[in-house]
Amino acid sequence: MQSAIEQAGRDAPALWGRAIASIERYRGALSAFRARLRDTGCSPRQQDQLGAMLAGWWILTRDGVPDQRAALDGVVAIAEFVLRADEIEAQSAARVCAERLARLDFHPYRSTEQVSVAELCMKAWQPRDDGEVDAMLGVIDARRDLARIGIRPVRADEQANRNRTPVKRGGPGDGIWINAHSQQLDERFGESFAKRWVFLLRSLQSHRDASASLPEQVTIGSVKARAVIWLSRYDLLGGDNEC
């Protein structure tokens, strides 16, 4: 170990000089590595960070500028550290906020048990089967409980309500309308997301504002509101169909 330290001390000035003299090679190497990282779906920020490290390694250990094959070999060597853009998005504050919304627990009407928003939505998205009274009542109860906290679920095949009025939706498939002024959600999100949860949810891919996509208000329970956000089932549950 001591001999390695001594050798590094002797080589340090030469390595530093090589780095300073290689600014043009560094730029070329950075461009080459960023291009290969981009090909893997790497996020722009990581293209800069990992590309800079690979370019620094290259100018200290190799001559010239890496060609496509050499650049790809460098990227493969650090593949376990490369995050794709979709993986970055999945870890974003908006994704965390949606996951927190899905996990929020509430007391159903006349019940001492706590049920999560995800569980209530899964029940509410079930088709109403007139032949299964218990199942139908479960759907109705879930929709009522969600309405109490400012959420209206919409099934993928839902076309009209009881009054034959077309169902308002912000996108295809199962989804929910969320009252952006829901006091219950404000309280349950807590300080970590206080007043930010609306902004964060609006940055998810499926988000649609009622004011932008509809000419009128959305009814959630007994409340008619224009400040309502649409989220798809995928964005709420992260692609999972299980609670």
Q: How far apart are the first and last CA of the chain?
A: 54
Per-residue model confidence as pLDDT tens digits over 158-168? 876 565 667 78
Report which of residues 80 and 224 the model is more confident about: 224
Per-residue model confidence as pLDDT tens digits over 159-209? 765 656 677 888 888 999 999 889 889 888 877 777 788 888 887 766 655
pLDDT at 226 over 90: no
Mean pLDDT, the chain, whole residue set: 82
Question: Helices 2-20 and 44-61 meet at what angle, rounded to 10?
Answer: 110
Distances (CA, A) of 159 to 29, 163, 233: 56, 11, 17
SS3 assignment, position 162: coil
pLDDT at position 157: 83
Q: Which of 66-80, 115-129, 130-144 has the lowest mean pLDDT?
A: 130-144
| C-alpha R_g of the chain | 27
pLDDT at 222 over 60: yes
CB atoms within 10 A of CB 87: 13
pLDDT at 42 over 50: yes
Tokens of 217: 């208000």
List helix spans (H) across 91-189.
93-103, 117-124, 133-148, 183-189
Per-residue model confidence as pLDDT tens digits over 84-129? 766 666 557 788 888 899 999 988 877 778 899 999 999 899 876 6
CA-based nearest residue to 184, from 156, 218, 146? 146
| Over residues 9-36, mean pLDDT | 88
> Contact, 118 vs 238, CB < 8 A?
no
Helix (H) / strand (E) element for 116: namely strand 115-116
| Over residues 3-7, mean pLDDT | 84
pLDDT at position 102: 93
DSSP string, 165-188: PBPP-SSSSSEEEEETT-HHHHHH
Tokens of 153: 């679920």
| Over residues 42-66, mean pLDDT | 88
